[in-house]
Structure 1
Amino acid sequence: MDKRIDLIINNLKEVYDPEIPVNIYDLGLIYNVDVDNDNNANIVMTLTAPGCPVVDILMDDVTAAARAVEGIENVNVDLTFEPPWDKSMMSEEARLELGFF
């Protein structure tokens, strides 16, 4: 795996939905992270709900997290709702943190 992908993921673990005290990666909002041959980071993500009021903030934070990795030229964030997010996508740590067992 490209080391830059690991670095992007580590940075994404520092991005929090302001309404939920768990990072977006552990929430399961990040579906895919890839870096192409032209050093572009391509991220596919979702939201907990289509009408999320902080969508612009999260998209900006995800872009900044990927851009902070040395060697990344551009960042493309693709917002999708397929498949729709549900609680099963959260990491075990996130479920414990939020009280979902």
Structure 2
Amino acid sequence: MSNVELKKEDGVREALRAVVDPEIGMNVIELGLIRDIDIRDESTHIIMIMTTPFCPYAPQLLEQTRRTAQDYLGVPTTIEMGMEMWDPSMMEEGAASDWGLF
């Protein structure tokens, strides 16, 4: 990955800190829900998971994440809900201590 691509991905990840899970009160980056970001010249594709398989906020979180990335990058962005099971070890370093988990 080039420096430009890394800067774009870092920027998108920073922008996605504004997307907060309303039930948990933490953002999608802290929670480790963003599993992959594929940035191309003409489009971006994101794979995101939920903290629970039946998250009632999934449609809202997916759309808000997609829209935030698209607004930041200025290219059409698609999002896919990954099937990977979330667990607290996926959380950003230090974030789990806010929950008293680690």
TM bucket by the smaller chain?
Answer: 0.7 to 0.9
Q: Which runs of 5+ in 1 are unaligned?
A: none
Distance in 2 (CA, whole Å) between partners of 1:73 and 1:21 is 28
CA RMSD of aligned residues (A): 1.3
Q: Which residue of 2 aligns with 1:43?
A: 46
Q: Which runs of 5+ in 2 are unaligned?
A: none
Q: Alignment partner for residue 18 of structure 1, among 6, 22, 25?
A: 22
| Superposed counterparts of 1:1-101, under 5 Å | 1=3, 2=5, 3-38=7-42, 40-70=43-73, 72-82=74-84, 84-101=85-102
Distance in 1 (CA, whole Å) between partners of 2:70 and 2:35 is 18
How many residues are paired up? 98
Distance in 2 (CA, whole Å) between partners of 1:98 and 1:48 is 14
CA contact (8 A) 1:4 1:69 kept: no
Q: What TM-score do the two structures reach when normalised by structure 1?
A: 0.88
Runs (4+) of structure 1 exceeding 6 A deviation are none
Q: What TM-score do the two structures reach when normalised by structure 2?
A: 0.87
